[in-house]
Amino acid sequence: MPTIRCQCPRPDFFRDDYLDQALKRSQEALTLAAELAHPYSLALTLGFTAVVHLLRGEGLLAQERAEAVMTLSAEQGFPTWLAEGTMVLGGALAEQGQVKEGLAQMQQGLAALRAMGTEPERLGFLSPLLAAAYAKVEQVEEGLTVLAEALAFVDKTGMRVGEAELYRLKGMLTLQSKASLEQVTTSQGKSQTSLEAEAEERFWKAIEIARKQQAKSLELRAVMSLSRLWQQQGKKDEARQLLAEIYGWFAEGFDTKDLQEAKALLEELT
């Protein structure tokens, strides 16, 4: 039987700068995969489309696509996509506030990838989902461990997809460690001021990487994180100027979660 190569366009889900176009392309990919009647192409496209929805902040749609790829992969015997679909499902559940359940799904998917020996190749792609979930439940050490592994993989392989998001999340978890020190004297650990400086440095690192890669959506996330920190420090004018510049770049996708949050933050800063 001849091999059928996947002919579906792959959404560039970490470069979703044109947010409406990214959604349109993913829907076109699903239509083409269905027309091909090629199960692996459909599994691949469902998986990428789930991530597109997740990065747009559409948790329920991401969950539906992830569950579809899991069902198809279980039926057709695609263990890698079953594991990745499980991790994306976990991210979708966490996005909808079901963080405990989401973490359990992601840990299950990660364990399956490790058992297959394919975990390292997925670290840069999947680690932000897991680290973000740990941040939501303030499990700082677990989140930082995930990010350290992912950044080590990035440095080793040069596969820098999503690298900016890894540094942004590292900054967020650093601020959470600051919060945990509120009742601790500085003689027992780092001062809160030094931790804020550390977090700011990581946010700037994320912004620098995103700009170098021309990844505007990841730049927006990093700028919002830095702007919130500056807002708490009383530097509202600087925060507003930085955020307004990147927000003004976008011409579509204003119904997505990130851009809605950016607009709300700009109004607060004004």
**What residue has token string 């999947």?**
126
pLDDT at 147 over 70: yes
**Confidence at residue 157, expressed as pLDDT on a 0 to 100 scale:** 82
Query: How do residues 207-260 score in pLDDT, each as one tens digit?
Result: 999 999 999 999 999 999 999 999 999 999 999 999 999 999 999 889 999 999
Three-class DSSP labels, 39-79: HHHHHHHHHHHHHHHHHCCCHHHHHHHHHHHHHHHHHHCCH
Q: Considering the entire predicted model, what is its pTM?
A: 0.85
Tell the CATH topology of 1-117: 1.25.40
For residue 119, name the pLDDT band (cuts at 50, 70, 90): low
**Confidence at residue 13, expressed as pLDDT on a 0 to 100 scale:** 41
**Confidence at residue 2, expressed as pLDDT on a 0 to 100 scale:** 36
Rounded to whole angstroms, the Cα distance separating 167 from 205 reads 7
Q: What is the average pLDDT score of the chain?
A: 87
Query: How do residues 20-60 score in pLDDT, each as one tens digit?
Result: 888 899 899 999 998 999 999 999 999 999 999 998 999 99
